[in-house]
Structure 1
Amino acid sequence: MIKELDVSKIDSVMKIWIEANIIAHDFISEDYWKSNYDFVKKVLPESTVFVYEDDGEIRGFIGIMEKSYIAGLFVANQYQCNGIGSRLIEKCKEYYPVLKLDVYAKNLKAVNFYKKHGFKIEQEKENDETKEIEYSMIWKL
């Protein structure tokens, strides 16, 4: 079931966030993600966060900022490739006529996932913090 995040469950969401980032971005130091953990945990509730929950367990989530920007889409490693990410994206498409995001070019699995869902690469740029190339992608209704 997809619903808005109950802030009392933020630790479950953050566990998925840190683990998924470290696995998906093996080209970035683990320390980078660990050093950003507290900041993300603090600002995450300022976003609209939809969680995919099953049997009382959060298995994935998506965070939307400024009514169009996907700040992150993460699915717990053991539940990936089960359609959870697709369901979360489709839920957001019901609420927002435009969705934007930035994704690392080296994260081909994510780039292909977003392309499959109708996102197009708008721009290629270097991330200021990691110095890695990322794509700005957009989907419009």
Structure 2
Amino acid sequence: MSVNIDSRVVAPGSDDYVDEAWRLKEEISRQEGVLKQRHDFFTDAYRRSKVHCYVRDEELIGFAAVRRDGYILFLAVAPECRGEGIGKRLVARVADDHDSITCHARTSNENALQFYEHLGFEINRRIDDYYEDGGDAYYLKLGSDVGIADKISELMRR
């Protein structure tokens, strides 16, 4: 990664980068038709999460908002920054704190599903009508009680 990309952590209860994260999420939503959360839902969940951020030249280019149990509520990388390993590094940061990582992904979101599959996530189940707009989701999981750190370390070496 470029030397001008900084990694930052936003503690639960903080508003740091919440507006920037909302704008990034909305940009992705407009372009790709995913990440369709309402503003109040998003900001409330963001503020209750530990958020790993990547910032380039003071601009938020990626973030992962994570619950205490390792569930990724939101993972977003600016479209122009994809392919730089930012998403992979965000998941690796989450893996530093958790034995397993879980999340939901829209069944129609091929980019997200390919990304998670590449990292080793497995689909546990499909949930019909999961999203507020009636969209279906897959529940994904990476790791178990042992082995996630090794999986992520191996992934980062690639």
Fold in common (TM above 0.5): yes
Assess if the C-alpha contact under 8 Å between 1:2 and 1:88 holds in 2.
Answer: no
Provide the C-alpha distance between the structure 2 equivalents of 1:39 and 1:7, rounded to a whole number of angstroms: 14
- Number of residue pairs the alignment of both structures matches: 135
User: Higher helix proportion, which one?
Assistant: 1
Secondary structure of 1:68 counterpart: coil
Over the aligned positions, Cα root-mean-square deviation in angstroms equals: 1.9
Q: 2:23 aligns with which of 15, 19, 23?
A: 15
Which ranges of 4 or more aligned residues in structure 1 deviate by more than 2 Å?
5-9, 21-26
The alpha-carbon deviation at position 129 of structure 1 amounts to 2.0
Q: 2:133 aligns with which of 123, 130, 133?
A: 130
The alpha-carbon deviation at position 110 of structure 1 amounts to 0.4
The alpha-carbon deviation at position 39 of structure 1 amounts to 2.6
Assess if the C-alpha contact under 8 Å between 2:125 and 2:140 holds in 1.
Answer: yes
The alpha-carbon deviation at position 23 of structure 1 amounts to 2.3
Provide the C-alpha distance between the structure 2 equivalents of 1:66 and 1:113, rounded to a whole number of angstroms: 23
List alignment gaps of at least 5 residues for structure 1: none
Provide the C-alpha distance between the structure 2 equivalents of 1:73 and 1:41, rounded to a whole number of angstroms: 14
Using structure 1 for the length normalisation, give the TM-score: 0.86
The alpha-carbon deviation at position 128 of structure 1 amounts to 5.0
Q: 2:56 aligns with which of 34, 54, 57?
A: 54
Assess if the C-alpha contact under 8 Å between 2:51 and 2:65 holds in 1.
Answer: yes
- 1:66 corresponds in structure 2 to 68
Provide the C-alpha distance between the structure 2 equivalents of 1:51 and 1:122, rounded to a whole number of angstroms: 27
Using structure 2 for the length normalisation, give the TM-score: 0.77
Identity level (%)? 22
The alpha-carbon deviation at position 98 of structure 1 amounts to 0.6
Provide the C-alpha distance between the structure 2 equivalents of 1:20 and 1:93, rounded to a whole number of angstroms: 24
- 2:95 corresponds in structure 1 to 93
List alignment gaps of at least 5 residues for structure 2: 1-5, 149-158
1:115 maps to a residue whose letter is E
